[in-house]
Structure 1
Amino acid sequence: MKTMPLRPLASALLLAGVSSPAFAVLGLNLSVDIRSLTMGNAVTADPPGISAIHFNPAGLTKLKGLQTDVQGIVANFDIQKELSVPAGYNVFGYSDDPLVCNDRADNPSNLCTSFKDKVRADVEYPSLFVPFVNKIVDLGEGWPVLAPTGGVSYNPPGSKLTFATAAYAPLVAGFGSENGNPGNYMGQQVAIERITYLSPSIAYQVNDQLSIGASIGMSYQAIAMKTDLRFPNEMIGVLRMIDENICAPFKGNNDEFLNMVLFGLCNAKEGMNPFSKFGQMEVQMTQSLSPSFNLGLMWEPTEDFGFGLVYQSPAKMKLKGKYVVRNALSPRELAAGMNSAVSGQFLAKLLEFPGGIPAVESGLVSMDLEYPEHIQAGIKYKILPDLQINVDVGWTDYKAWNTFEFKFDRNITALQIAKLLSSNVTNNSLKLPLGMQSPWNWGIGLEYSATDRLKFRVGYEPRTSAIPDDKRNTLIPINNAQLFGLGIGYRFDEDTDIDLSVGFLRSRDNIPACTSSMANACGIDNLLLNPYAGLNVKTNTKVTILGLNYRTRW
């Protein structure tokens, strides 16, 4: 019983924390450069124009004179989620979960007599977090996410130095759903973005074969979320049993003996239910300046072969923002009931419980977050005079997200209870273990020069998930993914190029009942985040990206 008040706040913060790595795994390099998408992001040895600032700043030495680069990237996120009931589904003997049960609300049975075959919990529209306004904005059903970027470079005549800067978005993603969507228990509105608004860069051509470069990225980082909360846990099933089977005949009688034995639980005006909505949470955290740097090397010993290497530094941040948790009536009544009886008051004082749970709990929150470092190397090779192949291998240190720690500007009543259960909790801080992995990934791209003006590109990049199997979730439904790209490049004249590209990322996942501690774990120890406990979960994510790039030399 003492675990109940912990969950709304702790689970809310876990949702906010896990959204960042999940989105980053999904959206890495999807909104930086469209030509790179068509080459499976295998461009370290052949970086694309001014976007070399991100992929390999040494490649800026290829740009002569004064050049500008403008592109528009449009992305559509199609995220489908499906819930289903396995054989023997129940939470402490109760199976009348309204998410999956067809029975009427006035059905007196605790067991569902007719389950829904499949329950759709699809994302309904994209969402974005608007900087400075600090608000999530829904774009409406069918509207895509737009990420315009641009940059400029300058190589003085006869100089071996090239200078550049660009504004681009390493990560922009978000989604939302209407009230009542079954998927709202893992994010009704979610938005995360990292926008590099200034990136002063320099590249130096050591000789005809070797170039080096460096760039500094000044970025804005934001995480925002609104989510419903529920906790189908065995302990809450016990509380429902007590309320419906033991307390029901004595409701309103204020029986002294019963109050003493059950610590005042029967005085609650509304009982606990493992399938009920426990509240709603909103949280937003931002950092206006998050610096990082990139170092690059490019070696081209022959016209047919080249090698590239880039190191992208970690960016250590301290995100700050606000949270609001609106607690439902039942957990507040549970605390009030305990404090209405002498035995309940004694138990609360013995365990250092707070005197009650407020209807609304709000304040300031901060989180130390490290945007992970990344290393990538690749080659380009002309297997035919008109056909070039690029192959890259990269590693990202997602293990930096092994644990998230939230710190508050005040003591939180929920954490006063939680600290009795975990060494990761104090009165004003909370550590959340995520257990992320640091996988290696690779990509391949082909570029065919049909004429001196026209080029065709195709790329493929399989992405290994950084999320362990026992941590998979529907907040951003991704396990392993595949990225496909197609593109056309056309040179109007010696100073002007245009590229048209399309990319497609897909990821399907199957999370059998009771297999993930961040989605559907069963039992009495699924304390933090399992809104679909005991249910099968399937996801199907599709991201379609269209882009147009215009480059010219002045």
Structure 2
Amino acid sequence: MKVERMVKKGLVILAAAMLTASSANAANVETMGIGSMNTAQAGAVAAHADNVFAAYYNPAGLTLIEKPTLTVSTMFYDAQIKVYDWNVATTGTNDGIASGPMDFESDEMAILSPSMGFAMPVTDKITLGVAAYTPYGMTVTWDKDPSVNPAAAYAWESTYGRVAVTPTLAYEVSDKLSVGVGVSLGRSISEAGKTFEYSDKFKTDGSAGGNALAGFNAGTFIAETTDLTFAQATTPYDAEGNSLASDFVAGATLFDGAQMKLEATDDFNYSFNVGVMYRPIEQLSFGLTYRGRTETEFEGDATVTGALGGTTNLDGTATMEYDHPEQVQGGIRWFASNKLSVEADVTWTRWSINDGQYETITLYDVPGQGDVTQTMGHPRDWEDTTAYRLGISYQATDAFSFRAGYAYDPSPVPEETFDMGWPDTDRNLYSVGMGWQINERWMIDAVLQHIISTSKRLTENSHNMDDNYSKAYGAPASVTLEDEGILWGAGMTVTYTF
């Protein structure tokens, strides 16, 4: 009967967790923390993950939970990206391209990220749990008007993330060794938006003829204005050297000033979390966690608003495959006393699994073309990263504990493939927190977090940016800019022990 009651409780918690996860989101390319206790220690908890979110940090840590435990947590983030010294240099003309400011900022991004979990021992050796959280996420939004945000011609929105529900089993092999495994069941979202903009000279080039749309190949236009590199000439050419002037002028006439939005989801995907925890002596604990790759297949909608001078809207579909990376996190925790512990972790992330991001788009009833299908591509070639984390926990009294953490998290995005959809930088993470054990059943934890770029990032050799603005100007262009990110976060976690 004890096991039956546990299963019923687990199913109720799982259902509630799924509802919570469906509205979760996060603020950057990678999670900034799950649960106030873990976030306050900058995520340096792999060697002693002693709460329900061990399902993510180290599944083996669930064996440290002695009684049925329910935890509800939320993080609030306020993030912003600032751009300095924006400049586009071209050998052609910039007639009709709004120059915009040299310095500008993203929209203020206020994001709420909830999470919850439940765990309970089944036997003296086995603990079961389930947690809902956001393992990966990013949301970046900008002004859509190129005169306010000159980067809108590349992107004014990028959203990419996953929410997961992870049933987990942990087994205490001995007093010193525990292992755990979880199946992470997830749902992923991807959104992107840009404003098409072309120079007046490009749109009125004499080689287009009197009726630009008459000979227009929309498929060629969509592909060439999103994928391929311009030849070093004032009019575009394809890979074989054939002039695409007519198609480009017609396409610019059709799309100039229009806004394109892509919204796609992968409604079900999965990965595995595996962990081991070893404590050879009372003063020392080791932890190792593997979080598996998540394969995705996104499907959704594509819309273009304001084509043909604001008179035409187009609908369509979009598909994309872009996997979430695998991670390995290892940590060592030193228990200096029964009150003070310090942990150092490293987290390796395999960002290199995706060479490029390719979205296949079908637009219906394009004027003079009917339905048009093309693949838009963005080279990625991201680099694998290693983040370094340090966390400290101090039990001041039986009721109050204090925590602090620091992490250095390098960007996986190289300069060559930097773009305004993923304006990532190397960053420092600082966090402080405290816990209050109200009584034997209730506990509240809180955290304050600050994340900031290690320095302004200088970009001046990005193929993605240069190619995009070469197509906007109809001539070879070079983009230079500096950017930095700033994020403040605050969170609270409430835990109830049955």
Aligned-partner SS, 1:200:
strand
The runs of 5 or more residues in structure 1 that have no matched partner are 1-22, 101-117, 127-143, 253-262, 333-357, 417-425
Would the aligned equivalents of 2:157 and 2:421 in 1 still touch at CA under 8 Å?
Answer: no
Is the contact between residue 125 and residue 175 of structure 1 (CA under 8 Å) also seen in structure 2? no
- How does 1:339-488 map onto structure 2 within 5 Å? 361-384=314-337, 386-407=339-360, 429=375, 432-488=378-434
Q: Note the 1:11-160 alignment, pairs <5 A.
A: 26-85=28-87, 89-94=89-94, 97-100=97-100, 118-126=101-109, 144-156=110-122, 158-160=123-125
Amino acid in structure 2 at the alignment position of 1:509:
K
Give 1:538 shift. Answer: 2.1
- Against the structure 1 CA distance between its residues 268 and 454, is the aligned structure 2 distance closer, same or farther, given a 3 Å change threshold? closer
Q: Secondary structure at the match of 1:61?
A: helix
**What do the CA deviations read for 1:147-192 (whole angstroms, capped 9, x no partner)?**
2221111113x52110111221223442434442314333334333
2:105 partner amino acid:
D
Q: Distance in 1 between matches of 2:435 and 2:195?
A: 46
**Which deviates further from its counterpart, 474-483 or 527-536?**
527-536
Verify: 1:308 aligned to 2:287, yes or no. yes
Query: Are residues 1:537 and 2:481 paired?
Result: yes
The separation in 2 between residues aligned to 1:531 and 1:125, in whole angstroms, is 34
Supply the distance in 2 between the matched residues of 1:476 and 1:124 (Cα, whole angstroms): 15
Aligned 8 A contact 2:314 2:363 in 1: no
How many Å separate the matches in 1 of 2:466 and 2:248? 29
For the aligned residue pairs, the C-alpha RMSD in angstroms reads 3.9
Measured after TM superposition, the shift of residue 270 of structure 1 is 8.8
Is the 2:431–2:447 contact (alpha carbons within 8 Å) kept by the matching residues of 1? yes
How much does 1:307 deviate? 0.3
Per-residue CA distance 1:65-121 (angstroms, 9 max, x = gap): 2111111211111222234448xx444154774224xxxxxxxxxxxxxxxxx5343
Q: By how many angstroms is 1:56 displaced?
A: 0.4
- SS of the equivalent of 1:224 reads strand
Kindly tell me: are residues 277 and 221 of structure 1, through their superposed partners in 2, closer, same or farther at Cα, counting changes over 3 Å?
A: same
Instruction: Check whether the contact 1:31–1:171 (CA below 8 A) recurs between aligned residues.
Output: no
- How big is the shift at 1:303? 1.5
**1:298, distance to aligned residue in structure 2 (A):** 0.3
Give distance in 1, aligned partners of 2:452 and 2:476.
23
Equivalent residue number for residue 419 of structure 1: none
Residue from 431, 445, 450 that aligns with 1:499:
445
In structure 2, do the counterparts of structure 1 residues 499 and 329 end up closer, same or farther at CA, with 3 Å as the change threshold? same
Letter in 1 for 2:133: Y
Greater strand share, 1 or 2?
2
Match of 1:553 in 2: 497
In structure 2, the partner of 1:4 is: none
Shift of residue 522 of structure 1? 9.2
| AA in 2 matched with 1:76 | D
Amino acid at match of 2:409: R
**Structure 2 equivalent of residue 297 of structure 1:** 276
Please report how far the alpha carbon of residue 384 of structure 1 lies from its aligned counterpart in structure 2 after TM superposition. 4.9
Listed one character per residue, the Cα deviations across residues 313-334 of structure 1 (whole Å, up to 9, x for unaligned) are: 111111111212357449x9xx
Letter in 2 for 1:440: T
Structure 2 distance, partners of 1:296, 1:490, is 28
Secondary structure of 1:475's match? coil
The structure-2 alpha-carbon separation of the partners of 1:267 and 1:535, relative to structure 1 and needing over 3 Å to count, comes to closer
Does structure 1 retain, via aligned residues, the 8 Å contact 2:378–2:464?
Answer: no
Query: Once the 2 structures are TM-superposed, how far is the Cα of residue 146 of structure 1 from its aligned partner?
Result: 1.2
CA distance in 1, matches of 2:177, 2:244: 77
CA deviation string 1:477-535 (max 9, x = no partner) = 2221111111112222344322110111112533344x112224699xx5599999434
TM-score normalised by length of structure 2? 0.76
The whole-number CA distance in structure 1 between the counterparts of 2:425 and 2:74 is 28
C-alpha distance in 1 between matches for 2:380 and 2:474: 14
Please say if residues 425 and 484 of structure 2, whose CA atoms lie closer than 8 Å, have aligned partners that are also in contact: no
What is the CA distance between 1:394 and its match in structure 2?
1.6
Partner AA of 2:493 in structure 1: N
CA displacement 1:26-78 (0-9 Å, x = unmatched): 34222522222221211100114000001101000011121111112111112
Secondary structure, counterpart of 2:464 in structure 1: coil
Distance in 2 between the 1:231 and 1:36 partners?
A: 48
- Out of 141, 151, 156, the position equivalent to 1:176 is 141
**Aligned residue type for 1:291:** Y
SS for the counterpart of 1:184 is helix
User: Equivalents in 1 of 2:474, 2:42: separation in Å?
Assistant: 35
In structure 2, the residue corresponding to 1:320 is in which secondary structure? strand
Find the partner of 2:158 among 177, 182, 190: 190
Write the distance in 1 (CA, Å) between the matches of 2:251 and 2:298: 37
Q: 1:364/1:326 Cα in 2 relative to 1: closer, same or farther (>3 Å)? A: same
The structure-2 alpha-carbon separation of the partners of 1:455 and 1:365, relative to structure 1 and needing over 3 Å to count, comes to same
Tell me, what secondary structure is at the counterpart of 1:60?
A: helix
Distance 1:191 1:267 in 2: 31
The structure-2 alpha-carbon separation of the partners of 1:509 and 1:96, relative to structure 1 and needing over 3 Å to count, comes to farther
Structure 1 residues 413, 453: closer, same or farther in 2, change over 3 A? same
For 1:307 and 1:452, locate their aligned partners in 2 and report how far apart those are by CA, in whole Å: 26
Q: How does 1:321-336 map to 2 (within 5 A)?
A: 321-326=300-305, 328-329=307-308
SS in 1 for 2:463: coil
| Letter in structure 2 aligned against 1:176 | T
Question: Which residue in 2 is equivalent to 1:162?
Answer: 127
**Cα distance, 1:268–1:31 mapped onto 2, change above 3 Å:** closer
Q: Retained in 2: the 8 A contact 1:490–1:497? A: yes
Percent identity, aligned pairs only?
A: 20
Question: Within 5 A, what are the aligned runs for 1:281-296?
Answer: 281-296=260-275
The CA deviation string for residues 265-298 of structure 1, in whole angstroms up to 9 with x for no partner, is 899999969xx94532111110111111100100
Q: What amino acid sits opposite 2:186 in the alignment?
A: S
- Aligned residues of 1:519 and 1:530 also touching (Cα < 8 A): no
- Give yes or no for contact 2:188–2:267 (8 Å, CA) kept in 1: yes
Cα distance in 2 between the residues matched to 1:202 and 1:179: 47
What's the secondary structure of 1:321's corresponding residue? strand
Amino acid at match of 1:195: V
Q: How many residues align?
A: 435
* Residue identity opposite 1:123 in structure 2: S
Paired AA for residue 200 in structure 1: P
Query: Do the aligned partners of residues 209 and 32 (structure 1) sit closer, same or farther apart at CA in structure 2, a change above 3 Å counting?
Result: same
Please say which structure displays the higher CA radius of gyration.
Answer: 1
Give 2:480's aligned amino acid.
N
Report the secondary structure of 1:36's partner residue: helix
SS in 2 for 1:519: helix
Other-structure match for 1:339: none
Whole-Å separation in 2 of the counterparts to 1:441 and 1:314: 18
CA distance in 2, matches of 1:79, 1:326: 26
